[in-house]
């Protein structure tokens, strides 16, 4: 039996392992109904809601031009924080994280694969949202895309770190509750789709320091005026570092 | 692999210590779950860690797999420290976890193909799938599989890298008799091909059927070791009052006073009406006396079965000694 001949089974290269894991996790996410609702359906509903109601009127730009950057920020929060958090929480419960960390993939490859999957799904979300927004009259600033890409990656990194922190420290049922509740709270009041100027005065200055407010604000600055808001970018970077360090410190693999 | 290499153990654990905690239930103190475990596992052998639940078996092999950090002692896995294992060492070691570790929403074949991609030269998925009978249930998701099907899939996943060392944590948990036979035959075949197989079990029968060498673990330490035959023999010799302990099981008419014709140190119990066990240092003379008495009384038993001590008896004896 040639198949039974035992040879040292060398590992595939690290980039290939990460790429495979990213592809597998991205496929799992977009073939899961609940994840699709969270990643695509709810952001599109938010987009439509914001364009048919007067919430964003009198802000110096059209409803759709103000709404789309916030919806893209919401997409990043859906996928990186809530989606990836819940998936990781249950993978941890079922021992999937432990098993995969005994294969050549390892813990580092597993986390890199998750980040890659988040970015791949985010690209898909941007394409879908843009495809819906352009016919509705979205006219982004021509020079916004390079800044927007950097900001979306920073935002995805911050939300992934936060999602993994929650998933790695509490039970999966609690992860489910926390990440869904945070999605609703931050989505409504976190400065993500509704600009902080439109929130109650007590919240206005506060939300700019949240990852939601920073990502929403930074993407609106980029798409509306073509500017790169360094303060918001720094806020996102700080959240990534803090949540990432906390996740490394407290993440429990079993 | 030359002769010298093959004499080095694939896995060597020496003086393993593992503390967990701090635990609130112990007022913030650490709990020592493994206090001193040493063992060796060789290529071409099945090495079993046998012990009750909570004895420290899983902790021990998880330290060897690099899944848990040890608190003390040394571990050499294929000559490397598993705590600092790189991808190439992990590629040479297969792991089947007690809880399987497979995502419930996954389908068996895409999952196996995905994991196979992590190895440069994987075991062909189709071959593994047919050998372990996974084709029969490859359509559903992991969530819908029976316990035995999940175990077979987890074994396939552990073998994808053609490992030199295979860890199996409670491999017969949830297996139906057919799956069990299939899995056990496969394990023996893999061993004969030169794989070092390390398994944990709390089932004496698993150890007795599969293991070339057994370590009995209790309360986080080694309490006995040897081949199955050695363990059975050694403990007989150690206790002179229990020499050649055997049990004769007899089925026949009710209320036979067999104690009257047997030597006094034999223990006769009628556990159910007509169902007897005679335990002790049974001699050929005892058997002759018994059959002569049956002939005289014209008694024909319906069933006779003579058993040497089982590994279970040894294990229970050792555990009892540890406890006292």
pLDDT on residue B209: 87
Pairing of strands B246-251, B303-308: antiparallel
pLDDT on residue B323: 63
Residue A167 placed within a domain: yes
Report d(CA A134, CA A126) in Å as an integer. 12
| Residue A49 reports pLDDT greater than 80 | yes
Contact criterion met (CB < 8 Å) for B90 and A11: yes
Contact criterion met (CB < 8 Å) for A28 and B102: no
Residue A8 placed within a domain: no
Give tens-digit pLDDT for B280-299. Answer: 778 888 889 999 999 998 99
Contact criterion met (CB < 8 Å) for B99 and A94: yes
Least CB–CB distance from B90: residue in A4, A14, A106: A106
Burial B107-143 (b: 16+ CB within 10 A, else e): ebbebbebbbbbbbebbebeebbebbbbeebbeeebe
Give the CA distances from residue B60 to residues B50, B57, B122, in Å, rounded to whole numbers and listed in that order: 12, 5, 27
pLDDT band at B320 (very low <50, low <70, confident <90, very high): low
Phi-psi region of A239 (alpha: psi -120 to 50; beta: other; left: phi over 0): alpha
Number of other CB atoms surrounding residue B269 within 10 Å: 12
Residue A1 placed within a domain: no
As a whole-number percent, the residues of chain B with pLDDT over 70 amount to 90
* CA nearest to B101, candidates A218, A193, A101: A101
- Chain mean pLDDT for chain B: 87
Report d(CA B252, CA B272) in Å as an integer. 11
Q: Which residues does chain A have within 8 Å of residue B163's beta carbon, measured at their own beta carbons?
A: 6, 9
Please give the full DSSP string across B100-134, using - where no structure is assigned.
----TT--HHHHHHHHHTTBSSPPPHHHHHHHTTG
Residue A4 placed within a domain: no
CA distance A40 to chain B (A): 20
Segment A49-55 mean pLDDT: 92
Q: How many CB pairs under 8 A join A and B?
A: 113
Segment A132-140 mean pLDDT: 95
pLDDT on residue B324: 61
Q: Which domains does chain B have, with CATH numbers?
A: 11-234 (3.40.50.300), 245-307 (3.30.70)
Least CB–CB distance from B91: residue in A3, A10, A99: A10
Q: Which residues does chain A have within 8 Å of residue B192's beta carbon, measured at their own beta carbons?
A: none
Q: Which residues does chain A have within 8 Å of residue B87's beta carbon, measured at their own beta carbons?
A: 11, 14, 17, 104-106, 109
Domain count, chain A: 1
Segment A177-204 mean pLDDT: 92
Phi-psi region of B170 (alpha: psi -120 to 50; beta: other; left: phi over 0): left
- The pair of structure tokens assigned to B24 is 């609130």
pLDDT on residue A1: 37
Residue A86 placed within a domain: yes
Contact criterion met (CB < 8 Å) for B93 and A101: no
Q: Is 0.95 topped by the overall pTM?
A: no
Domain hosting residue A157, numbered range: 14-250
Contact criterion met (CB < 8 Å) for A17 and B87: yes
As a whole-number percent, the residues of chain B with pLDDT over 90 amount to 53
For the ranges A112-121, A215-224, B177-186, B264-273, the lowest mean pLDDT is seen at: B264-273
| Residue B199 reports pLDDT greater than 70 | yes
Least CB–CB distance from B164: residue in A6, A96, A100: A6
For the ranges B34-38, B165-169, B194-198, B264-268, the lowest mean pLDDT is seen at: B264-268
| Residue B242 reports pLDDT greater than 80 | no
| Residue B234 reports pLDDT greater than 70 | no
Residue A120 placed within a domain: yes
Determine contact: B116 vs chain A, CB below 8 A.
no
Determine contact: B95 vs chain A, CB below 8 A.
yes
For the ranges A199-208, B29-38, B126-135, the lowest mean pLDDT is seen at: A199-208
Give tens-digit pLDDT for B55-92. Answer: 899 999 999 999 999 999 999 999 999 998 889 999 99
Residue A214 placed within a domain: yes
Least CB–CB distance from A6: residue in B101, B102, B162: B162
- Chain mean pLDDT for chain A: 93
| ipTM of the prediction | 0.87
Q: Which residues of A touch B (CB under 8 A)?
A: 1, 3-12, 14, 16-17, 20, 24, 28, 32, 90-91, 94-96, 98-106, 109, 253-254
| Residue B4 reports pLDDT greater than 60 | no
Report d(CA A182, CA A174) in Å as an integer. 12
Contact criterion met (CB < 8 Å) for A102 and B67: yes
* CA nearest to B159, candidates A105, A107, A6, A24: A6
Residue A3 placed within a domain: no
Selected residue with higher pLDDT from A6 and A201: A201
pLDDT on residue A3: 40
């Amino acid at each position: 039996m040639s198949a039974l001949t035992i040879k040292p089974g060398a590992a595939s290269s690290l980039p290939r392992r990460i790429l495979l894991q990213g592809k597998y996790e991205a496929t799992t996410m977009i073939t899961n109904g609940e994840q699709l609702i969270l990643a695509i359906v709810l952001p599109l509903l938010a987009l439509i809601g914001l364009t048919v109601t007067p919430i964003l009127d009198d802000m110096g730009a059209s409803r759709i031009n103000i709404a789309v950057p916030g919806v893209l920020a919401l997409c990043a929060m859906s996928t990186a924080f809530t989606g990836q958090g819940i998936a990781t929480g249950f993978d941890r419960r079922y021992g999937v994280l432990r098993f995969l960390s005994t294969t050549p993939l390892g813990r580092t490859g597993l986390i890199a694969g998750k980040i890659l999957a988040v970015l791949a799904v985010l690209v898909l979300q941007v394409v879908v949202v843009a495809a819906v927004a352009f016919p509705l009259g979205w006219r982004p600033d021509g020079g916004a895309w390079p800044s927007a890409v950097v900001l979306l990656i920073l935002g995805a990194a911050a939300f992934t770190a936060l999602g993994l922190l929650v998933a790695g420290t509490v039970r999966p049922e609690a992860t489910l509750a926390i990440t869904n509740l945070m999605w609703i709270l931050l989505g409504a009041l976190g400065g993500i789709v509704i600009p902080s100027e439109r929130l109650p005065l007590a919240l206005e200055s506060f939300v700019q320091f949240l990852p939601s407010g920073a990502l929403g604000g930074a993407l609106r600055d980029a798409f509306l005026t073509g500017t790169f808001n360094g303060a918001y970018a720094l806020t996102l970077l700080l959240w990534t570092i803090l949540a990432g360090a906390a996740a490394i410190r407290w993440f429990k693999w079993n | 692999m030359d002769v010298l290499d093959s004499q080095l153990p694939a896995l060597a654990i020496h003086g393993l210590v593992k503390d967990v905690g701090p635990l609130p239930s112990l007022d913030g103190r650490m709990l020592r779950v493994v206090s001193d475990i040493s063992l060796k596992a060789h290529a071409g052998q099945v090495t079993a860690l046998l012990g009750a639940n909570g004895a420290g078996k899983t902790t021990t092999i998880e330290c060897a797999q690099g899944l848990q950090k040890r608190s003390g002692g040394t571990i050499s896995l294929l000559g490397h420290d598993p705590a600092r294992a790189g991808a190439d060492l992990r590629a040479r070691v297969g792991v089947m976890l007690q809880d399987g570790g497979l995502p419930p929403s996954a389908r068996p074949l895409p999952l196996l193909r995905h994991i196979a991609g992590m190895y440069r030269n994987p075991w062909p998925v189709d071959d593994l799938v047919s050998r372990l009978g996974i084709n029969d249930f490859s359509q559903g998701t992991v969530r819908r599989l029976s316990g035995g099907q999940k175990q077979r899939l987890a074994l396939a996943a552990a073998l994808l890298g053609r490992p030199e060392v295979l860890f199996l944590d409670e491999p017969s948990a949830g297996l139906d008799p057919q799956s069990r036979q299939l899995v056990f035959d496969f394990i023996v075949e893999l061993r004969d091909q030169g794989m070092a197989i390390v398994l944990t079990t709390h089932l004496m029968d698993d150890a007795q059927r599969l293991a070339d060498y057994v370590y009995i673990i209790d309360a986080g330490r080694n309490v006995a070791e040897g081949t199955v035959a050695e363990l059975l023999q050694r403990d007989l010799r150690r206790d002179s009052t229990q020499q050649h302990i055997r049990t004769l099981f007899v089925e026949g008419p009710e209320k036979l006073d067999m104690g009257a014709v047997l030597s006094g140190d034999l223990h006769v119990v009628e556990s159910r009406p007509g169902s007897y066990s005679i335990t002790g240092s049974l001699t050929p003379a005892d058997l002759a006396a018994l059959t002569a008495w049956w002939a005289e009384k014209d008694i024909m038993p319906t069933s006779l079965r003579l058993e040497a001590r089982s590994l279970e008896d040894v294990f229970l004896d050792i555990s009892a000694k540890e406890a006292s």
